[in-house]
Structure 1
Amino acid sequence: MNFFAPLVGQNQAVELLTQAVAQNRVAPAYLFTGPEGVGRSIAARCFVELLFCTHLAKLNSTTPADEANLKHGFALQKRLAAGNHPDLLWVQPTYLHQGERLSAAQAAEKGVKRKAPPQIRLEQIREIGQFLGRYPLEAPRNVIVLEAAETMAEAAANGLLKTLEEPGQATLILMAPSESSLLPTLVSRCQRIPFYGLDKAAMKQVLLQTGHEEILKHPPVLAIAQGSPGNAIASFTQLATIPPDLLQDITQLPKSHRNALQLAKKIDKTLDTEAQLWLVDYLQHSYWQQFLDRKISKLPLQHLEKAREYLRGYAQPRLVWEVTLLNMI
């Protein structure tokens, strides 16, 4: 059974993780580095399946390993997908809303307006410690996966450091864009597994396999993705949430001061801060493509970069867009 079949274009990572299990040299902690959306989460889930299924096959000595792996693999995949395996803890950044921690998906489902980005909180690190306070129930080890580990505040990172020093019968998998995005003391305790952006052929393969071939017709979305199918899908989903009339108006340079002010008001009223930050990226690539096609004679990229900077600094969004669009006339 090829546990890493769902993972496309990450041969080096697959080889490193497969050999770790084959040689019985699984590290206490791994750091999956690389862009978001290129397969790090898929790799983590595949690695967990390999770890857990190999253990089950060894227990069933009367059945050939491949047959046992295949038999237990499908059942395990269902349990992991449902999030009900007792020896796996999957940690995601959260928003804090009215005293309740919400994942990005939960926040979107409840319609929570997000201003600050989500983060892994100290309480979640404490829950990891509690999880590791017991022996694994079914698998050979407990496994903890931390998505977007770079979002940890200093207190949370220091708390995790204590766990990495004495993980016990467990393996932790941290995901971050680069080593520099984490404390050096954390990085030094992890084995690094690099992930890379996909080439055009691999991108096309993934988008076709996942039923997102429509994205291939949108050059700005592909440009934003930069070799990341996950980012391409997320961007395309974000694109669909923006009213078509607003998108049509904003992808053209403002024609007058009044037009600029009206657009700024509409953007502020319609989109939350994260959507506005995404819009900045989209407009940069859209204007660049129009410039190459000679549909516009000037590039307002420096104004958009300033807008991104101010939006991230929590400046008043409407004022940011008013200044940006007026400067683009």
Structure 2
Amino acid sequence: MNPFADLIGQSQAVDLLQRAIQLKRIAPAYLFVGADGIGKSMAAASFASLLLSLDVPEHKHNLLPKRIKNRSHPDLLWVEPTYLEKGELITNQEALARGLRRKSPPQIRIEQIRSITEFLSRPPLEAQRLLVVIESAQTIAEAAANALLKTLEEPGQATIVMIAVNPDALLPTLVSRCQCIPFARLSTNNLHKVLQQQGYEEIIAHPEIVALAQGSPGNAIATWQQWQAISPQLRQQLRKLPTNPLEALNLARTIDRELDTQAQIWLVDYLQYYYWHHQLKPELVKQWEQARQYLLSYVQPRLVWECIFLQLANKN
């Protein structure tokens, strides 16, 4: 079975990776580049299945997909950005599960680069090589990036796959040591296919969600989940701008109480598109963009929402 069979809309990337294996010209390091949510992590898992199955007895192949999915293969190390919580490194999913609210995004830390170095210091246990996958490599802190550079110079019997949105966010010396594999945003038809495949066909009926996704099924699903996580009462209020100062202040208070900072930044993007689509007023777009910049600059969120809703209420 072809591990890439379920990867839709990325024929160029798949061809490059399969050709490397067929020709036995596997690079010591790869950089998968493209927007979030378009299949880079899925491609990395598929590539891992192929690499770790080379010269492995046939009867063990059926176990690989499950082990790759669970990241439990002894020759695979999958690294994600983390938060530092009371001396413990936790992923974004773990932070959400614990109900932790963070203002800054997670990042790849130097402790994780050290764990990569330690992992690569031993020989493979089952496969021909060791494989390291680094998610969101653009979040690597500077000290960690310098440490990773030393590892890339002498990876040993290993292949390292870094996944990033934009190579410009990485040290040029890191990028220069990797073979770049570009990933494209999906066409509308392919986006719909992936949503149907993933069981999110209902999203297709919401054009504002599809438009915000910009060819990224992952973003479409994340946006839909964000919207569904908002209380029905707040969703109804957001569909209509406040018409007086009291409504404006109440709505700002509700948003600040119910949503963390990252969810509020997402909400600004959603409202910016929604009201542009329904009212076609350029000044609204500018006001939402200003609100977004304030939130990113760590201005007190409730104050940001109060200001923008009071401005909008005065114009209604």
TM (norm. structure 1) is 0.92
Q: For 2:285, give the aligned amino acid.
A: L
Distance 1:313 1:84 in 2: 39
Q: Secondary structure at the match of 2:55?
A: helix
Distance 1:189 1:98 in 2: 35
Q: For 2:191, give the aligned amino acid.
A: M
Distance 1:305 1:173 in 2: 35
Q: For 1:309, give the aligned amino acid.
A: Q
Aligned twin of 2:284? 300
Q: For 1:211, give the aligned amino acid.
A: G
Aligned twin of 2:304? 320
> What is the aligned length?
313
Aligned twin of 2:118? 130
Distance 1:278 1:98 in 2: 28
Give per-residue Cα distances to partners, 1:206-257, cap 9 Å, x unaligned.
Answer: 1111110011111121111110001111111111111111122123222111
Q: Does 1:86 align with 2:70?
A: no
Aligned twin of 2:89? 101
- Does the 8 Å CA contact 1:288/1:299 hold for their aligned counterparts? no
- Does the 8 Å CA contact 1:120/1:149 hold for their aligned counterparts? yes
Distance 1:174 1:298 in 2: 39
Q: For 1:42, give the aligned amino acid.
A: M
Give per-residue Cα distances to partners, 1:54-84, cap 9 Å, x unaligned.
Answer: 321xxx5xxxxxxx3xx54331011112221
Aligned twin of 2:39? 39
- Does the 8 Å CA contact 1:287/1:299 hold for their aligned counterparts? no
Gap runs ≥5 in structure 1: 61-67
Aligned twin of 1:51? 51
Q: For 1:241, give the aligned amino acid.
A: A
Gap runs ≥5 in structure 2: none
- Does the 8 Å CA contact 1:35/1:196 hold for their aligned counterparts? yes
Q: Secondary structure at the match of 1:255?
A: coil
Of the three residues 172, 195, 220, the one matched with 1:184 is: 172
- Does the 8 Å CA contact 1:30/1:193 hold for their aligned counterparts? yes
Distance 1:120 1:248 in 2: 38
Q: Secondary structure at the match of 1:223?
A: helix
Distance 2:17 2:282 in 1: 48
- Does the 8 Å CA contact 2:138/2:167 hold for their aligned counterparts? no
Aligned twin of 1:64? none
Q: For 2:268, give the aligned amino acid.
A: V
Q: Does 1:207 align with 2:191?
A: no
Percent identical among aligned pairs is 53
Q: For 1:75, give the aligned amino acid.
A: L
Deviation at 1:190, TM superposition (A): 0.4
- Does the 8 Å CA contact 1:93/1:121 hold for their aligned counterparts? yes
Aligned twin of 1:77? 65
- Does the 8 Å CA contact 1:53/1:73 hold for their aligned counterparts? yes
Distance 2:53 2:271 in 1: 46
Q: Secondary structure at the match of 1:17?
A: helix
Distance 2:300 2:266 in 1: 17
Distance 2:142 2:294 in 1: 24
Q: For 1:86, give the aligned amino acid.
A: P
Deviation at 1:199, TM superposition (A): 0.2
Distance 2:141 2:165 in 1: 16
Q: Which moved more, 1:3-12 or 1:298-307?
A: 298-307
Distance 1:298 1:169 in 2: 55
Aligned twin of 1:229? 217
Deviation at 1:98, TM superposition (A): 2.1
Distance 1:83 1:251 in 2: 42
Aligned twin of 2:261? 273
Deviation at 1:298, TM superposition (A): 6.6
